[in-house]
Amino acid sequence: MGKYEAVIGLEVHAQLHTVSKLFSGDATNFNALPNQHVGPITLGHPGTLPKMNKKAVELAIKMGLVCGCEISTNNYFARKNYFYADLPKGFQISQHTTPICRGGLVHINTTNGSRDIQLTRIHLEEDAGKSIHDQDDALTLLDFNRAGMPLIEIVSEPDMHSSEEAAAYLTQIRKLVRWIGVCDGNMEEGSLRCDANISVRPVGSRTLGTRVEVKNLNSIKHLRHAVEIEIERLTALSEKGETILQETRSYDADAGITFSIRTKEDAEDYRYFPEPDLAPFQFTEQYIGELKNQIPLLPAELSNKFINEYGLSSYDAEQLTDEKELCDLYEEVARHTIYKKQLANILLGPLKSLLNQSSTQWNSIHISTTHWNELLILIAEGTINFSMAAQKILPRMMADPAVTPTVLIQQLDLVQDADADQLQGWAKQALDAMPDKVMAYKKGKKGLIGLFVGEVKKYSKGKADPKQVTAILESLLHQ
Ligand code: ADP
Ligand code: MG
**Tens of pLDDT along 70-113?**
999 999 999 999 999 999 999 999 999 999 999 999 999 999 99
Residue 423, pLDDT score: 86
What percent of the chain clears pLDDT 90, i.e. is strictly above it?
Answer: 85
- What is the pLDDT at residue 417? 60
By CB neighbour count within 10 A (0-12 exposed, 13-18 middle, 19+ buried), where does 155 fall?
middle
CB of 157 shorter than 6 A to ligand 1: yes
Residue 424 has pLDDT above 90, yes or no: no
Give residue limits of the domains in the chain.
Answer: 4-286, 297-393, 420-477
| Cα of 3 from ligand 1 centre, angstroms | 22
> Is CATH 2.40.10.340 correct for 420-477?
no
| Position 233 confidence tier, pLDDT thresholds 50, 70, 90 | very high
What's the pTM value of the predicted model, to 2 decimals?
0.84
Instruction: Tell me, in angstroms, the distance from the centre of ligand 2 to residue 183's CA.
Output: 21
Can you state the angle between helices 435-442 and 420-433, rounded to 10 degrees?
Answer: 90
Nearest Cα to Cα of residue 475 among 455, 445, 459, 452: 452
Q: 196 and 230 in contact (C-beta within 8 Å)?
A: yes
In this predicted structure, what is the pLDDT of residue 385? 87
Instruction: Compute the distance from residue 463 Cα to the ligand 1 centre, in Å.
Output: 63
* 1 has a pLDDT exceeding 60: no
Task: Say whether pLDDT at 10 is over 80.
Answer: yes
Which among 80, 105, 211, 238 is the best mutation to test ligand 1's pocket, defined by most ligand atoms within 8 Å of the CB? 211
The pLDDT score that the predictor gives to residue 64 is 98
Instruction: For residues 263-277, give the mean pLDDT.
Output: 87
| Nearest CA among 107, 97, 221, 201 for reference residue 156 | 107
- Nearest residue (CA) to ligand 1, atom 5: 155
- Helix, strand, or coil (residue 63): helix
With a 6 A CB cut-off, is 212 part of the ligand 1 pocket?
A: no
pLDDT of residue 213: 97
324-334 and 299-308 helices, crossing angle to 10°: 30
Q: What is the distance in A from the centroid of ligand 1 to the CA of 237?
A: 20
pLDDT value at residue 410: 86
What pLDDT is attached to residue 467? 84
Please give the pLDDT value at position 418. Answer: 59
Pocket test for ligand 1, best of 197, 230, 249 (most atoms within 8 A of CB): 197
**Is residue 92 within 8 Å of residue 268, measured between CB atoms?**
no
pLDDT for residue 416: 64
The pLDDT value recorded for residue 460 is: 85
Give the mean pLDDT of the chain. 94
Q: State in Å: Cα 435 to ligand 2 middle.
A: 73
